[in-house]
Amino acid sequence: MAEVPLVVVVVQRGGPSTGLPTKVEQGDLLAVLYGAPGDNPKIVLAPATIEECFHFVVLARRLAESFRGPVMVLTDANLATGVSPFPRPRPEAGWLAPPADQSPWPEGMTPFDWDERTGLSPRPVPGQRGGEYVLTGLAHNRQGKVAYDSTSNQTGCEMRSRKLGALRQTLVPPVVHGDEEGDLLVVGWGSTLGAIEEAVDCLRADGHRVSSLHLRFLSPLEPGLEEIFARFRQVMTVELNYSDRPDAPLVTPTRRRYAQLAILLRQRTLLDVDCWSVVSGQPVPPGVIVAELEKRLAALEGAPENIGELACSA
Amino acid sequence: MFGLKTDWHPDVPQRSFTLESYEGGVARWCPSCGDHGILSAVQRICRDEQIPPEQVVAVSGIGCSGRFPHYMHAYGFHSLHGRALPVACGIKVRRPDLQIWVATGDGDCCSIGAGHWLHAVRYNMDMTVMLLDNSVYGLTKKQTSPTTPVGLATNTHPEGAWLPPLNVVETVLGFTNISFVAKTVDWNPAHMYQTLHAAYCHRGLSFVQILQRCPTYTPHIFDEWRGNPDSIRLLVHEDGVPADPPVAKMYRNHVEHDPSDLDRARQLAADAERIPIGLLYRNPDAPRYEDFTARGLGMPTDEKLAALDRELDRFAI
């Protein structure tokens, strides 16, 4: 609402409540995306390695300033407390925030001069002569004045949402690990990258047609997912958060609570994205993932040709 | 003459500010609300000190006091319930050049924001904090606040508030690293102006409790002190808030109080009957948090990159 650049690093730990304070979980994705009153679109990044944690913070700061809003960086206890060597970065001037602009604010320009196409607007910085305005958590118009009329709030929400659309336009589709088509595609995010890719490599060595995909942008989601998913017979996420086991009592395919990224992907792609997730508080060993994927692969015997047909038949 | 051309003039941009320079629209508090006078006092101080409006930041939380930034022509941040102080501290952390006025209330500061209150005062960042204390939640139409007097009927305590009210200045005087604690009343604009002006001139966090009449919900709670000025102790001292002659004449009960005397300040503050107005405590030497956080501001890019390089070298193998 205030449209102030802000970077928040969320180091996820085991929940719910005080839960497993020193253990790992990927349980905050939906809370970060939706845990606030009303609509508040925000950028959510998920670095997958310790090296990415380093560089993503620079990226997050740039995005926060360009898009004038909050950027959440989702890490977890594994990334936060782990140690891993990576090539020594060479500091660049672009890493640093530019000095606060203190030149006079352009005459006649409003503090929320939203571009109709992108929702983007320049931000007056305190100290800029002529840019005086009030940030408020209340609904406001382009002048930054409190406005309770229905049109202003509708416009403000549309403009803030449009910014995510503008960012999505600049993203490129993620790269598939393994073949671009096959029987099973595993989608992950965050610190599970190494375990998932090791499991996939292991199964591929045994001749299975398995690939994986690791998402770094969770809001907005990276483009091209529908096209990638359509080349696989089944798509599933592997996550460290809670989901109902498909064979649990009272659980049916339509009454199952899915893992958090799976929920996002299902709503985004309208495809029957499956999931496997645990809240053990421990990193998942590749061997456990291999065992789970083998079960899914066995179940695919005689299943439809690709996930699109499955969705149509469901 | 002196070799200057006849059309020469000093190229110094002259800006002068009037009260209108700080007026940000019609204030929509109730007619005769004490907040109007507090707003005017702040605008007068800005005018008298000729602070460029773009250097002023008014910060508030939620409540009637939260409306304050909307009526100033300046930068403003109308933040969340109880969050005026952390927002103000956040601004000051990296922008010590800005002049910050915080408007908060007895609910905003002493209830939902009480945790922030304690720490912000201890951080002692240079800003003027005005507690607009009307002893009730006014914006939400009369619920008991931490400073509601015993027996006042409210929506949450229809038979009257049960507990003795929080003594605000006595509480602040118990915090650590305090540097300026004062109290004034909205019905004496001259004293309020002098108190807020002294607060503005102090470097560090100046905390000013302003007893503020709410014409709608607590119109009579200050009647005893308003009707009987002798029940108010006017704190006077050469290091204190200057008392104009009319103020000194109205409040005849003068108490000579050295604002560096913390024990005496606590004694005076503890008396809830004969309330003290003026400067209770001042310590110009209390450390200020922004003096630490602002280090490195303005460092050239190449120096910053060299510092980063040195830091990375510590981990490189």
Tell me, what amino acid is at A292? E
Amino acid of residue A285: P
- B216-231 in b/e form (b: 16+ CB < 10 A) is bbbeebbeebbeebee
Whether residue A310 is predicted with pLDDT greater than 70 in this model: the reply is no
HSE-up of B31 (CA within 13 Å, CB side)? Answer: 0
Give the gap in angstroms from C-alpha B67 to the nearest C-alpha of chain A: 10
Interface touch B77/A135, C-beta < 8 Å: yes
Phi/psi of residue B76, nearest 5 degrees = -145, 155
Tell me whether the omega of the peptide bond preceding residue B276 falls within 30 degrees of 0, making it cis.
no
Beta strands of B41-195 (E only): which ranges? 56-60, 75-78, 99-105, 127-133, 180-185
Q: Are A133 and B75 within 8 A, CB to CB?
A: yes
Short-list A191, A163, A183, CA closest to A299: A183
Residue A146: its chain B contacts at CB < 8 A?
Answer: 70
Q: What is the DSSP letter of B104?
A: E
B81 lies within 8 A of chain A by CB: no
* pLDDT at B6 > cutoff 70: no
Evaluate the omega torsion of the peptide bond into residue A126 and state whether it is cis, within 30 degrees of 0. Answer: no
Nearest residue of chain A to residue B303 (CA atoms):
A93
Asked if B303 is an interface residue toward chain A (Cβ–Cβ < 8 A), one would say no
Chain A interface includes B69 (CB < 8 A): yes
Give the model confidence (pLDDT) of B115-163 as tens digits. Answer: 999 999 999 999 999 999 999 999 999 999 999 999 999 999 999 999 9
Is the per-residue pLDDT at A312 higher than 50?
no
B77 touching A (Cβ < 8 Å): yes
Q: Taking residues B26-31, what's their average pLDDT? A: 96
Q: Per the CB < 8 Å rule, is B305 touching A93?
A: yes
Q: B54–A138: do the CB atoms touch at under 8 Å?
A: no
What's the mean pLDDT in A245-264?
A: 95
Check residue B317 and give its pLDDT.
Answer: 85
**Which chain A residues have a beta carbon less than 8 Å from that of B73?**
132
Question: What CATH class has B28-294?
Answer: alpha beta
User: How far apart are the C-alpha atoms of B133 and B147, rounded to whole Å?
Assistant: 8
**How large is the average pLDDT for residues A42-63?**
97
Q: How confident is the model at residue B2 (pLDDT cuts 50, 70, 90)?
A: low
Q: Cβ of B101 under 8 Å from any chain A Cβ?
A: no
| Strand arrangement of the beta sheet that strand B180-185 belongs to | A134-136, B75-78, B56-60, B99-105, B127-133, B205-211, B180-185, B276-282, B233-236, B254-256
Measured between CA atoms, the residue of chain B closest to residue A96 is B301
ipTM of model: 0.91
Which member of B54, B73, B78 has the closest CB to residue A135? B78
E strand or H helix at A212 = strand A210-215
d(CA B310, CA B302): 12
In angstroms, the separation between the Cα of residue B294 and the nearest Cα of chain A is 13
Q: Measured between CB atoms, does B308 come within 8 Å of chain A?
A: yes
CA-based radius of gyration for chain B: 22
Cα A13 from chain centroid (whole Å) = 17
A&B contacts, CB < 8 Å = 71
A130/B77 Cβ within 8 A:
no
User: How many angstroms separate the CA atoms of A285 and A295, rounded?
Assistant: 16
Q: Which residues of A touch B95 (CB under 8 A)?
A: 100, 126-127
Q: What is the DSSP letter of B69?
A: G
Nearest CB partner across the interface for B95, out of A89, A93, A126: A126
Q: Is the Cβ pair B54, A131 closer than 8 Å?
A: yes
Nearest to A128 among B54, B70, B74 (CB): B54
Other CB atoms within a 10 A radius of the CB of residue B302 amount to: 9
Q: Using a CB-CB distance cutoff of 8 angstroms, which residues of chain A are in contact with residue B99?
A: none
Which residues of chain B neighbour A132 with C-beta distances below 8 Å?
24, 53-54, 73-76
Which pLDDT score is estimated for A314? 39
Mean local confidence (pLDDT), A66-95: 95
Kindly list the domain boundaries of chain A, sorted by start residue. 6-83, 110-170, 182-313
| A65: number of Cβ within 10 Å | 16
Kindly state the average pLDDT of the residues B256-284.
97
CB-based burial label for A209 (10 Å; 0-12, 13-18, 19+)? middle
Residue B3: is its pLDDT beyond 60? no
Average pLDDT over residues A270-276: 97
For B16-25, what is the mean pLDDT?
96
In chain A, which residues touch B (CB < 8 A)?
A: 2, 85, 88-93, 95-96, 99-100, 124, 126-138, 145-146
**Taking the domains of chain B in order of start, what are their residue ranges?**
28-294
Answer whether B95 touches A (CB < 8 Å): yes
Tell me the pLDDT of chain B averaged across its residues: 95
- The pLDDT assigned to A18 comes to 94
Q: Are A277 and A237 contacting, i.e. CB atoms less than 8 angstroms apart?
A: yes
pLDDT at B101 over 60: yes
Comparing A22-31, A93-102, B32-41, which segment has the lowest mean pLDDT? A93-102
Residue A86 has pLDDT above 60, yes or no: yes
B54 and A130 within 8 Å at the Cβ level: the answer is yes
Report, as an integer, the average pLDDT of A144-167: 95
- State whether A133 and B316 contact (CB < 8 Å): no
Q: Given pLDDT bands bounded at 50, 70 and 90, which one contains residue B1?
A: very low
Alpha carbon distance A254, A258 (integer Å): 10
Q: Do domains A6-83 and A182-313 have the same CATH topology?
A: yes
| Cα distance between residue A214 and residue A234, in whole Å | 16
Q: Which CATH architecture has domain A182-313?
A: 3-Layer(aba) Sandwich (3.40)
Cα gap B12→B16, rounded to integer Å: 12
Contact A126 B75 (CB under 8 A): yes
Tell me whether residues A135 and B54 touch, CB distance under 8 A. no
The predicted structure's pLDDT at residue A254: 87
pLDDT in the model for residue A311: 47
Question: What angle separates helix B189-201 from helix B34-49, to the nearest 10 degrees?
Answer: 50
CATH topology classification for A6-83: Rossmann fold (3.40.50)
Number of alpha carbons in the 13 Å side-chain half-sphere of residue B245: 0
The pair of structure tokens assigned to A11 is 């180091």
pLDDT tens, position by position, A207-236: 999 999 999 999 999 999 999 999 999 999
CA-closest candidate to residue A216, choices A183, A197, A192, A242: A192
Work out whether strand A274-277 and strand A210-215 pair parallel, antiparallel, or are unpaired: unpaired
Mutate to test the interface with A, among B43, B54, B57, B302 (most CBs of A within 10 A): B54
Residue (of B226, B223, B216, B113) closest to B168 by Cα position: B113
Evaluate if residue B274 carries a pLDDT over 70: yes
The residue of chain A with its CA nearest to that of B97 is A127
pLDDT attached to residue B5? 58
DSSP B71: G
Q: What share of chain B is helix, strand, coil (3-state, %, to 5)?
A: 35, 20, 45
CB contact under 8 A, A135 and B305: no
In chain A, what residues touch B53 (CB-CB under 8 Å)?
A: 132
pLDDT > 70: what percent of chain B? Answer: 96
* CA-CA-CA-CA torsion sign (A98, A99, A100, A104): negative
Beta-bridge partners for A65: none
Alpha carbon of A52: minimum distance to chain B alpha carbons (Å): 16
Alpha-carbon span A123 to A131, nearest angstrom: 9
What phi, psi does A39 have (nearest 5°)?
-90, 125
- Mean predicted confidence (pLDDT) in A58-77: 97
Question: In DSSP terms, which residues pair with A217 in a beta bridge?
Answer: A45
Give the bridge partners for B78, in sequence order.
A136, B60
Copy the structure tokens of residue A274: 């499956």
Residue A114: C-alpha distances to residues A102, A126, A167, A170, B163 (Å):
21, 19, 15, 19, 50
Task: Give the residue on A whose Cα is nearest the Cα of B90.
Answer: A6
Chain A positions in Cβ-Cβ contact with residue B91 (cut-off 8 Å): 126
Candidate from A85, A89, A146 with C-beta closest to B70: A146
**B317: number of Cβ within 10 Å:** 4
CB neighbour list of residue A106: distance below 8 Å, 6 or more residues apart: A130
State chain A's mean pLDDT as an integer: 94
